[in-house]
């Protein structure tokens, strides 16, 4: 009884295993001489000859005719040469793309930011990052800090510029970028708006618009603690007063007053005035941080962190020089 014949691999499968021989064929086709092609490839002639034979077997066609003086292409070889060049180019391109992706030069970086953060140096940071990684797609999402923290936890963001008050200690990698004082944001029609500076006690009889406790517990409790230290319990305006623009709209509508970062003053809203507060405790400073999950670190994300640190340091030095100039030092 005859033994069943072992199946042989298909021509396409054989060619896949011999793809590394395509540059040998291309060099020989272009040089038209085994000696010159072997020298160009850095190999000896017998090795090149065996490589071409293996390639022809994989293709299933005679590709070259060798004469005493030169090597010429068969009709099959002429047709195959164009395809071989395309295949080699595609492999080189794929390798280049893979290496760029590994180096973080391509791909996507998802970054969250708060409205207030955009008044700081975030646009400058993003411009610098785009110059460094022009082919990385930057997806930027605006939301309040607490929403960005949820997205970081869920893996929906790679990094976020947020208010440091909403972060749990040790949950993410964090770089503090800026600390600023808070100001009183008051209706322009109220007498308090005409004062050059305020103490927190001056707001004791006014309705206070505060971010809800469940959205930013540190800010909420810090505000209440500062008010108690100033000798009063604030009259908190009820409602989901989460969005910055909504709170500013409430101030403009004479609903109440609020505390906000100095950067908020760049939002000129009709009916809203900003007045400095001179006695807020240090823990009431507004803190901008860049937060990211260390497990999601890529070269592009690392560059974002480095650029943010450098710009933060430069801005801090500039602010210190400005303060010294004002104080005559």
Domains in the chain: boundaries: 11-102, 110-177+293-326, 182-284
Query: Residue 76's pLDDT is what?
Result: 92
What average pLDDT does range 72-100 have in this prediction?
82
Lowest-confidence range among 69-73, 149-153, 248-252, 268-272?
Answer: 69-73
What average pLDDT does range 121-127 have in this prediction?
89
Per residue in 63-78, pLDDT (tens digit) is: 998 876 788 999 999 9
Q: Which residues, including other chains, have CB under 8 Å from residue 129's CB and lie 6 or more apart?
A: 109, 136, 138, 300, 303, 304, 307
* Residue keyed to tokens 């690392």: 302
Token readout for 222 is 């810090």
Query: Residue 74's pLDDT is what?
Result: 92
CA trace torsion 58, 62, 64, 66 (10° rounding)? 120
Length of the chain in terms of residues written = 329
Q: Which of 180, 222, 227, 220 is nearest to 202 (CA)?
A: 227
Query: Residue 103's pLDDT is what?
Result: 64
Lowest-confidence range among 130-134, 181-185, 312-316?
Answer: 312-316
Residues facing residue 174 across a β-bridge: 291
Residues 274/294, Cβ–Cβ less than 8 Å: no
User: pLDDT band for position 169 (50/70/90)?
Assistant: confident
Query: Residue 191's pLDDT is what?
Result: 95
Residues 177/122, Cβ–Cβ less than 8 Å: no
CATH code for the structural domain at 182-284: 3.40.190.10
Higher-pLDDT residue of 99, 274: 274
User: pLDDT band for position 9 (50/70/90)?
Assistant: very low
Looking at the predicted structure, is the pLDDT value of residue 231 above 60?
yes
How many beta carbons lie within 10 A of that of residue 1, not counting itself? 3
How many beta carbons lie within 10 A of that of residue 218, not counting itself? 17
CA–CA separation, 263 and 217 (whole Å): 21
CA–CA separation, 207 and 192 (whole Å): 13
Query: Residue 93's pLDDT is what?
Result: 67
- Identical fold for domains 11-102 and 110-177+293-326, yes or no, is no
* Residue keyed to tokens 């110059």: 131
Longest dimension (CA), the chain: 110
For the ranges 153-157, 188-192, 281-285, the one whose mean pLDDT is highest: 188-192
Q: Which residues, including other chains, have CB under 8 Å from residue 213's CB and lie 6 or more apart?
A: 220, 221
Looking at the predicted structure, is the pLDDT value of residue 225 above 60?
yes
Looking at the predicted structure, is the pLDDT value of residue 270 above 70?
yes
Looking at the predicted structure, is the pLDDT value of residue 6 above 50?
no
Query: Residue 13's pLDDT is what?
Result: 53
Query: Residue 273's pLDDT is what?
Result: 96
Looking at the predicted structure, is the pLDDT value of residue 322 above 60?
no
Q: Which residues, including other chains, have CB under 8 Å from residue 150's CB and lie 6 or more apart?
A: none
Which class is domain 11-102?
A: mainly alpha
Higher-pLDDT residue of 208, 118: 208
As to burial, measured by CB atoms within 10 angstroms (0-12 exposed, 13-18 middle, 19+ buried), residue 194 is exposed
Q: Which residues, including other chains, have CB under 8 Å from residue 157's CB and lie 6 or more apart?
A: 110, 111, 112, 141, 148, 151
Looking at the predicted structure, is the pLDDT value of residue 57 above 80?
yes
Higher-pLDDT residue of 100, 272: 272
Q: Which of 51, 109, 235 is nearest to 41 (CA)?
A: 51
Looking at the predicted structure, is the pLDDT value of residue 325 above 70?
no
Superfamily of 110-177+293-326 according to CATH: Periplasmic binding protein-like II (3.40.190.10)
Query: Residue 318's pLDDT is what?
Result: 44
Q: Which of 41, 30, 39 is nearest to 71 (CA)?
A: 30
CA–CA separation, 209 and 211 (whole Å): 7
Query: Residue 104's pLDDT is what?
Result: 63
């Amino acid at each position: 009884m005859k033994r069943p014949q072992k199946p042989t691999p298909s021509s396409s499968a054989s060619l896949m295993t011999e793809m590394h021989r395509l540059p040998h064929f291309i060099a020989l086709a272009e040089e038209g001489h085994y000696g010159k092609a072997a020298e160009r490839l850095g190999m000896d002639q017998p090795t090149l000859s065996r490589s071409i034979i293996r390639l022809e077997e994989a293709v299933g066609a005679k590709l070259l005719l060798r004469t005493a003086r030169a090597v010429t292409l068969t009709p099959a070889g002429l047709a195959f040469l164009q395809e071989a060049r395309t295949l080699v180019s595609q492999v080189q391109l794929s390798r280049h793309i893979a290496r760029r992706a590994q180096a973080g030069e391509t791909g996507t970086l998802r970054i969250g930011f708060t409205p207030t953060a955009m008044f700081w140096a975030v646009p400058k940071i993003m411009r610098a990052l785009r110059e460094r990684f022009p082919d990385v797609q930057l997806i930027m999402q605006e939301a309040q800090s607490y929403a960005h923290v949820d997205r970081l936890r869920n893996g929906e963001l790679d990094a976020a510029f947020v208010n440091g008050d909403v972060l749990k200690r040790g949950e993410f990698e964090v770089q503090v970028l800026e600390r600023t004082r808070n100001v009183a944001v008051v209706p322009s029609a109220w007498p308090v708006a005409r004062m050059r500076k305020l103490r927190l006690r001056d707001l004791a009889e006014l309705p206070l618009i505060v971010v809800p406790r469940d959205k930013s517990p540190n800010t909420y409790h810090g505000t209440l603690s500062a008010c108690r230290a100033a000798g009063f319990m604030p009259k908190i305006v009820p409602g989901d007063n989460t969005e910055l623009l909504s709170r500013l709209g409430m101030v403009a509508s004479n609903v109440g007053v609020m505390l906000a970062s100095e950067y908020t003053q760049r939002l000129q809203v009709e009916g809203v005035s900003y007045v400095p507060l001179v006695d807020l405790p240090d823990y009431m400073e507004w803190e901008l941080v860049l937060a990211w999950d260390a497990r999601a670190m890529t070269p592009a994300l690392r560059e974002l962190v480095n650029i943010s640190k450098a710009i933060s340091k430069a801005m801090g030095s500039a602010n210190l020089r400005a303060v010294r100039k004002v104080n005559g030092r």
